[in-house]
Chains A and B, each alone.
Chain A
Amino acid sequence: MVGLVIVSHSYKIAEGIKDLTDQVAPTHKGIVCAGGMEDKSIGTDAVRISEAIKQAESGDGVVVLADLGSGIMSAETAIELLEGEDINAKLVDAPIVEGSIAAAVTAACGSKLEEVIAAAEQTKAVKKIN
């Protein structure tokens, strides 16, 4: 199953999104949070994110969603830190709540990495109010 890592500056935001993904994709066991710093203060930590990616990986690749600004930079750094490890991790350009839910649901259905990425990316264009 494609893994999912949720990166936010806020520990609570990442945990809160995981509460939502657990609700919509209860069978997915490879969703891992990397929110905030080690002491739960605000920030992002590339080393913790790379550990989360390792934890989320089960052989089918990992999708990473990040909130904003340095969260993106830390996520990119985390993926680079995994150079040499056999893990196909991709950072997806998508809103973190909608993207995480779309990724969790499609991954839980057994979709491939590319399909999970596409599902998450599609949420970027979704209009909330018509």
Chain B
Amino acid sequence: MSTRVYDCLKAIGEKIIENRDFLTDLDREIGDADHGVNMARGFQSVIEKVSQDDSDIGASLKKAGMTLLSTVGGASGPLYGTAYMEAGKVLMGKETLTADDLKLALEAAIAGIQKRGKAEKGEKTMLDSLIPAYDVYCEKIGGGASIVDALDAACTAANEGIEFTKTIAATKGRASYLGDRSIGHQDPGATSLTLTLETIRDFLKG
């Protein structure tokens, strides 16, 4: 029988693989049409390489991050890879996840993505979904909400973040070459990030 953390990573992987063409089509508009293909390849490897028997959440996330680093190929590799590895570091040794653990993991993931991509909110990147989601998540758990309810509100914020990316021009990555022509298109990274959060929410909801 596989562990919960493995099952969650597998669910995220399956969601990304299911949305491969959708993510690639979004990337065709403003990028190099490889986001879905790259992410699907990376998560196929995650499903294959992360140990099904490891119940250590941190160690499993770290392994997933290392796998993404070496299999995605595009910018999402070091960005998602670093996010998973940094989240893994703060969850190392843990076999259960509290609302506060998830807060720390999200915080570490954001810091990792910012360190790697040198981006801020408002540059049409995955951070435009992740940072508002994190803010709402913290607010909800601060008010005593359950992890699932807080994540549910966070997912709404992440989806609003996707909508926000349609209204702004990209200043990072390949899409930045397009300047104002990138306005009107939603960011593929913000989209895959939101799919990830929604999958975690659905998984924890059981």
**In chain B between 53 and 97, which residues have their CB closer than 8 angstroms to a CB of chain A?**
66, 69-75, 77-79, 81-82
Query: Given A48-B70, A76-B116, A69 and B75 touching (CB < 8 A)?
Result: yes
* Number of residues from B at the complex interface, CB < 8 A: 18
Complex CA gap A76/B81 in Å reads 12
Query: Do B117 and A73 touch (CB < 8 A)?
Result: yes
Q: What residues on B are CB-neighbors of A76 within 8 Å?
A: 78, 116
Q: Which residues of B contact A81 (CB under 8 A)?
A: 69
How does the 8 Å CB contact mask read for A11-45 relative to B, with 1 for contact and 0 for none? Answer: 00000000000000000000000000110011111
- Judging by beta carbons under 8 Å apart, are B75 and A46 in contact? no
B38 at the interface (CB under 8 A from A): yes
Report if A43-B78 is in contact (Cβ < 8 Å); known contacts: A69-B173, A73-B116, A74-B69.
no
B171 vs chain A, min Cβ distance (A): 13
Interface majority SS (helix, strand, loop, mixed), chain B: helix
CB nearest neighbor in B for A78? B69
A42 & B66 in contact (Cβ 8 Å cutoff): no
Question: Closest approach, in angstroms, between the C-beta of B66 and any C-beta of chain A?
Answer: 6
Q: Which residues of A lie under 8 Å from residue B28 when comparing CB positions?
A: none
Min Cβ gap B72→A in Å is: 7
B75–A45 contact, CB under 8 A? no
Contacts of A45 in B (CB 8 A): 69-71, 73, 77
How far, in angstroms, from A37 to B74 measured CA to CA in the complex?
A: 10
- The CA-CA distance from A41 to B75 in the complex, in Å, is 15
- B79 near A37 with CB under 8 A, answer no
Which 3 pairs of residues, A with B, have the shortest CB-CB distance?
Answer: A43-B73, A70-B75, A73-B78
Q: Could you list which residues of chain A lie within 8 angstroms of chain B, going by C-beta atoms?
A: 37-38, 41-48, 69-70, 73-74, 76-77, 81
- The 29 sampled A-B contact pairs (Cβ below 8 Å) are A37-B71, A37-B73, A38-B70, A41-B73, A42-B73, A43-B38, A44-B77, A45-B70, A45-B71, A45-B73, A45-B77, A46-B77, A46-B78, A47-B66, A69-B75, A69-B174, A70-B75, A70-B77, A70-B78, A73-B75, A73-B78, A73-B117, A74-B77, A76-B78, A76-B116, A77-B69, A77-B78, A77-B81, A77-B82
